[in-house]
Amino acid sequence: MTERKKRLRLDDEKPTNMGDMNPYTKQPYSKRYYEILEKRKALPVWQYRDEFIGMVDSSNHVVLMGETGSGKTTQIPQMLVERLRPDLRGKMICCTQPRRVAAMSVSKRVSEEMDVSFGEGVGYTIRFEDLTTRSTFLKYMTDGMLLREAMTDPLLDRYVAVILDEAHERTLATDVLLGLIKEISKKRPDLLIVVMSATLDAEKFQAYFDNAPLLKIPGRTFPVEIFYTPEPERDYLEAAIRTAIQIHRYEPEGDILLFLTGEEEIEEACRKIKREIQGYGESCGDVLVVPLYSTLPPNMQQRIFDPAPPMRNNIPGRKVFFFVNILFFYFSFFFFFFFFLSSFLLIP
């Protein structure tokens, strides 16, 4: 039996009935905690809680394939915190995310679910911003920041567990981390490693970590209807703006998401929609127009979590999001790459 399993076994023998007291703050749980708890129990990952903990007890490497909507990003780190609480003692658990917005938003949500102060018990670290303290026990961070920490802390001694989330995206930083973590685990057999993926690539990660146990969790899907225009649009940007305005004026409450090809188009569309909606005056609900692209400052990216505008004349407000369609950049890159390559090969 490993040393970690011994400590866990001893911890199980301790009384677990702490009433309404939060073990992390030593204060009574808030009313909101219980409201969120009911929603957490409805997530698919909640039903696999015991199976996941069993894998953690028996292996230092665990691979988890959780489909979109399963709740793995918010719930798995909390399960580890609860299970490894005796081992923390000034150390922490980290969960990597490929994007800054995800690290910030998920950490805030998890702090609410655990009923702890945001930035104290649960925090995040991204480039140029560190919202953690000495009392932080769960930290969300970008994969690039964990790589940077590894330069000054080669064995990642400050962590008892490392969770690599969204590993299927295969960013450069994530791939380097996979190799680095595997080497670190040889020198630190006590380090728990959890690799989470949303696709069948999880089986590749399982083989990479010497046939680590694999847990598959289904996700939640929502109905999607697809409507096509009868004829091709001459100006897709104008057509997208017209459609968004029509949805806002005549459809029930709910937010709108549009994908465009770049920052310039997004800013133009934001200006046009604001101007058009304002032109309808009191006969139309208010809108919050939110752009999102990579060069936007983090505080502006956080606006996607702002509430929708209040009702005006019994007409609900709505949020309209403008995102960059990443597929456009991939297609553009490959087009120019092959164009350049073909031109180079045709040179006599």
For residues 44 and 49, give the distance between their C-alpha atoms in angstroms, rounded to a whole number: 10
Residue 211 CA to residue 320 CA, distance in Å, equals 45
Separation between Cα atoms, residue 279 and residue 252, nearest integer Å: 20
% of the chain surpassing 90 pLDDT: 50
Tokens of 333: 């890159």
Contacts of 314 by beta carbon, 8 Å cutoff, 6+ apart: none
How far is Cα of residue 84 from the mean position of the Cα atoms in its chain? 22
pTM for this prediction: 0.74
Rounded to an integer, the average pLDDT of 160-180 is 88
pLDDT one-digit tens code per residue, 146-169? 999 999 999 999 999 999 998 888
pLDDT, one tens digit per residue, over 34-54 is 999 999 999 999 999 999 999
Residue that wins the pLDDT comparison between 252 and 333 = 252
In angstroms, the CA 221 to CA 103 distance is 23
DSSP string, 167-180: GGG--HHHHHHHHH
